[in-house]
Amino acid sequence: MVGQILGNRYELIEKIGGGGMALVYKAKCNLLNRYVAVKVLRPEFTSDEEFVKRFRIEAQAAASLSHPNIVSIYDVGQEDGMHYLVMELIDGITLKKYIAEKGRLNWREAVNIAIQICSALEHAHRNHIIHRDIKPHNILLTREGIAKVTDFGIARAVSSSTITMVGSTIGSVHYFSPEQARGGFTDEKSDLYSLGICLYEMVTGRLPFDGETPVAVALQHIQVEPKQPRDIQDDIPKGINDIIVTAMKKEQGQRYQSAAEMLQDLYRVLREPDGDFSAADSETYPTKRVMAINSENAVKGQGSTGRKDEYLIREDEKEPGEKKKRDKRTILLAAVTSLVLISLCVFLGYSFVVPSTKQEPDFTVGNYVGRNIDEVKEELKNAGIQVKETRKPDETVLKDFIISQRPEPGKTLKPGGYAAVELDVSDGPELLTMEDLSKIDYKIAEKRIQDMGLVPKVESEFSDTIGIDLVTRTVPAAKETVKPGSIVTIYKSKGPELKPTKVPDLVGSTSDEAKRLLADAKLKLGKIYPEDGKNYVDKIIDQDPKPQTEVMEDTAVNIYFESSDGQRKSVKTPINLVNPESYGDKIKVLVEFTPSDTKKTEQLVNKVISKEEFPIILTVPVPDKGKTDVTVYLDNVFYKSFPVQ
């Protein structure tokens, strides 16, 4: 679909994500000239009319939300059977990926993220929109650390991580509420339960419930109380623990009743991390037995004449015999209570003393190879067995999984004391970090890569900024990680890429003007005649190559100045071809000259010339009182020799 234009304005540039129900593309809005994200429903959903209808209605409702922590929805459309949603493009990563990268978050950072999510939910709930699928995958973090909630009202993903009941999606299995698991009524408090799980995962680095199948996880939401965060990470403040526990109550009525209420506690816990945030339960107001109100025990204002003594008997007006009976009952009750307390103390004392002398049963070592180290450590800790963990790189075993163990499975250990199981744990494949080899000689870079245990491969490329044979870049790049033995491509500079250019007309120019004209044409200055650099007028009378000749950039151009002392002059001499049919279209011309005053042979011309350019005119420097011998070679074969006076 890349390259396709939707709605005559959204040009799909690249795929940036996808899930069970849709694919997400980066796109450019050609109308407003900005980049957006376009979510396109998978084809299998487009035939479900009820789904498409809900998608459009709920997406339009979500589009009405305007909040800094909610991804803005710009447009909803349909084209050629495809249904798509256009929304704000976020430059960042999901909260799920952020947690995976950091392991777990500092509690203050986690609370700040939760505040932003809760603020977004409070805005949505106020507008009567329930998300129903709050999870770290649906929270985007910008580069500035701003949390953005996405996928409002359209979470109907059908995959192994979601459960659908009675034809409607109830959320992602690890994060949804007990009422969603039962297929019951969901409301704003369902979103707050899911937010509680997100906060749980942020501060502990793990999920409260997990299982082999989605149904197994769903049942835990309904039946199992999660391990409290502080039991996993003891540095989590009590206030954070209380907020998470309250948000994750099984019964909706025991949770936070609104996002605003939870938001208030999240702000407060930043100031009072160890404060008491536990929700009041039924024990705060215990059930009391109350006498039923009727015509015989009514009080004033409820059917009586208003006289208190009509219905209530004063203590001192009761019969003496009745008082004695009551005193006996009091004494008997006190004696029974004392006896119960003494029995309870004896029982508790026995319970604490006797088990201490009881011998713990031996522990049988299991097979832990291939299992996650955290899971095994928890299991052995509960059994009173110490763990000695050794980390080592491994190419075949996933990181944090056990490679080998000592003792072998089936051995017995005594719990407590010094009994221990030694576990070798994988740190994943051994990785090397690439050095920055740019701007050094490529041969030195080759040696360094070999010393790292990597295999160098050299390629060449043009560079306008880096000198010839110096390294322009490597693949993988600096600071990237690679496995030992991997191939590293070194790109060395060939210098700037040379292009054809035309020689400027330098005749009549001064030396400074010539240098400027040559630099503008990306050419360089060649030999200067007279060579002694003395006794000449700073005015060019000839040049080689000739003006408007097409040459490659960086070609040298020779220049000839007019002699000022009369010792040397320039004479123009034509060279004609004899038997031109014996030559090809291109002829290599080499002309050498030897002035009589210096007796030093120099090259006057050394280049390839088209046959059509003949006859060519040579400008030969001649001593004022002497001659210059000229020798011409065509295609590396002697052509003729003659003097010029």
Active site residues: 133
Token pair 């004063």 is at which residue? 314
Q: How far is CA 113 from each of CA 47, 267, 275, 584, rounded to the nearest angstrom?
A: 38, 11, 20, 79
Alpha helices (H) along 358-488: 373-382, 442-451
Amino acid at 7: G
CB atoms < 10 A from the CB of 122, how many?
21
The bridge status of strand 420-426 relative to strand 386-392 is parallel
Task: Report how far apart, in Å, the C-alpha atoms of 416 and of each of 161, 351, 382, 385, 386 are.
Answer: 40, 20, 11, 6, 8
Q: Is 324 exposed, middle or buried (0-12, 13-18, 19+ CB in 10 A)?
A: exposed
What is the H or E stretch that residue 101 is in?
helix 95-102
- Two tokens at 539? 């005015």
Q: Please state, as a whole number, how many other Cβ atoms lie within 10 Å of the Cβ of residue 516.
A: 13
Residue 554 has what DSSP assignment?
T
Q: Give CA–CA dist 189/260, Å, rounded.
A: 11
CA dist., res. 631 & res. 642, Å (int):
7
d(CA 99, CA 95): 6
d(CA 490, CA 456): 7
Rounded to whole angstroms, the Cα distance separating 371 from 398 reads 10
b/e sequence 92-119, b meaning 16+ C-beta within 10 Å = bebbeebbeeeebbebeebbebbbbbbb
Q: What is the DSSP string of 162-184?
A: EEEETTEEEEETTT--HHHHHT-
- Choose among 492, 489, 479: nearest CA to 433: 479
List the alpha helices (DSSP H) in 157-299. Answer: 178-182, 188-204, 214-223, 229-232, 238-247, 259-271
Of 612, 616, 611, give the one whose Cα is nearest residue 583: 611
Residues ≥6 apart with Cβ < 8 Å to 586 = 608, 609, 610, 611
| Residues facing 487 on adjacent strands | 455
